[in-house]
Amino acid sequence: MSIHKVIIDADPGVDDAAAILMALASPEIEVLGLSIVAGNVSLEHTVTNACKLVGVSGRRDVPVFAGASGPLVREQVYGKYARIGSFDDKLVKAGDVVPAEESAIQFIVRSARAAVTAGEQITICAIGPLTNVALALIQHPDVARGIRQIVSMGGAFTALGHRTPWAEFNIYADPHAAEIVFQSGVPIVLMPLDMTFQALFTADHFERFRAGGEAGAALYNLFTTFDRSDEKRFGRPGGPIHDATTIAWLIRPELFTSREAFVGVQVTGLTMGYTYADFYNKMNRPSNTTVVTDVDETGFIELLIERIVRHGGEAPEIRTTGGSHA
């Protein structure tokens, strides 16, 4: 079994919670630490949420590092559910996990350099604004040699946006950071809304999270408290869990299909945060991104549920009925 050494760069966030707990239950993934950035909510709250998730997972060996409190250039914007702030103790049990003193940017740099020394490379799963990753690459360009790939949830092409009509939130929150990362030369695997909208979770799926001990109960509480459905947009009940696709891709890449493209970001003007993908080489520029275009809906849903249930120490019930968008 191939083991991925991973830094999860996140802005928890309900979707981030699912991705983090999925990774912490997956033997294929060695989580080196959580690199936390402001995004869905302020940095104070994203760090608190990350510490609570580590606590309910029982994985106190995984450190939490606080990173950038705002974007590189643009004014700060928060996510749709910014009013959540820190996860309420009734939703996610309070614990005593605290962040490390080292900054998230220093942690990324140190980890990448250590990987180079060991003749290895790390993966960064970036599921929030890309500010921390951009700062590490700008301030210390040599760390790129230690990064195998950046698997990022972000962007929207034909699906357009969900934070604005034209932009996905993670890119919109810091488009300048995103452009730096896309131009860094580090291989990028991108999970855009075009793909994440294909896998919709319903109340029945959330109910199955509850078999996952304290971690599963926390995830059930979060997803049943904040309604994510949009039947008018999706054409059927349910809502996506965007960020968990990054972890699923590392574990079972065969659930996904992809295309190579040059991807860029609009960093000024009314459409700031818009991502474009040149799938047909109209710009005559080399590909810089593997864009994931499709997902096996049933396979992804069952994989996420199975990993969350592992937190409860029970043998998961595997179901194979349902549609697929592969």
Q: In 157-289, where does DSSP find H-type helix?
A: 169-173, 175-182, 193-196, 203-209, 213-225, 231-234, 244-251
Mean pLDDT confidence for 141-166 = 93
Active-site annotation holder among 45, 176, 242, 311: 242
Whether 186 is in a domain gets the answer yes
Cα 99 to its chain centre, rounded Å, is 19
- Whether 80 has a pLDDT exceeding 80, the answer reads no
Q: What is the mean pLDDT of residues 274-285?
A: 96
Torsion sign, CA atoms 250, 219, 311, 66 = positive
pLDDT confidence tier of residue 81, bands split at 50, 70 and 90: low
**Total domain count for the chain?**
1
pTM, two decimals, is 0.94
Q: Residues 204-241: pLDDT tens digits?
A: 999 999 999 999 999 999 999 987 788 888 889 999 99
Place 314 in a pLDDT band, splitting at 50, 70 and 90: low
Q: Where are the alpha helices (DSSP H) in 69-202?
A: 104-117, 131-139, 169-173, 175-182, 193-196
> Does the CA dihedral 140-143-145-149 come out positive or negative?
negative
Peptide bond into 146 cis (omega under 30): no
- Residue matched to tokens 């989580």: 31
> What are residue 265's DSSP bridge partners?
275
The verdict on residue 323 lying in a domain is no
Report if residue 183 sits inside a domain: yes
Half-sphere CA count of 192, side-chain side, radius 13 A: 27
Chain-centroid distance, C-alpha 51? 16
Q: Give the number of C-alpha atoms closer than 13 A to the C-alpha of residue 219, restricted to the C-beta side.
A: 34
Q: Is the pLDDT of residue 292 over 70?
A: yes
Span 160-212, pLDDT tens digits? 888 799 999 999 999 999 999 999 999 999 999 999 999 999 999 999 999 99
Kind and range of the H or E run holding 45: helix 43-57
Say if residues 229 and 237 touch (Cβ distance below 8 Å).
yes
User: Is 317 a member of any domain?
Assistant: no
Residue 243 belongs to domain spanning: 4-310
For residue 78, give every residue at least 6 positions away whose Cβ sits within 8 Å of its Cβ, in sequence order, or none. 39, 40, 41, 42, 173
Here the CATH number for the domain that contains residue 151 is: 3.90.245.10
- At residue 82, the pLDDT reads 63
Q: How confident is the model at residue 315 (pLDDT cuts 50, 70, 90)?
A: very low
Q: Is 4 a catalytic residue?
A: no
User: Cβ neighbours of residue 235 under 8 Å, at least 6 residues apart?
Assistant: none
272-294 mean pLDDT: 96
Contact 134, 181 (CB under 8 A): yes
Asked if the structure places residue 324 within a domain, the reply is: no
Question: Residue 320: pLDDT above 80?
Answer: no
* pLDDT(248) > 70: yes
- Asked if residue 315 belongs to a domain, the reply is no
Name the CA radius of gyration of the chain, rounded: 18
Residue 86 lies in a domain: yes
List, for residues 42-68, the tens digit of each pLDDT value.
999 999 999 999 999 999 999 999 999
Residue 28: inside a domain, yes or no?
yes
Decide if 291 contacts 190 (C-beta within 8 A): yes
At residue 326, the pLDDT reads: 35
Query: Do 302 and 202 form a contact (C-beta atoms < 8 A)?
Result: no
CA–centroid distance for 191 within its chain:
9
CA distance between the termini of the chain: 25
Res. 324: pLDDT tops 60: no
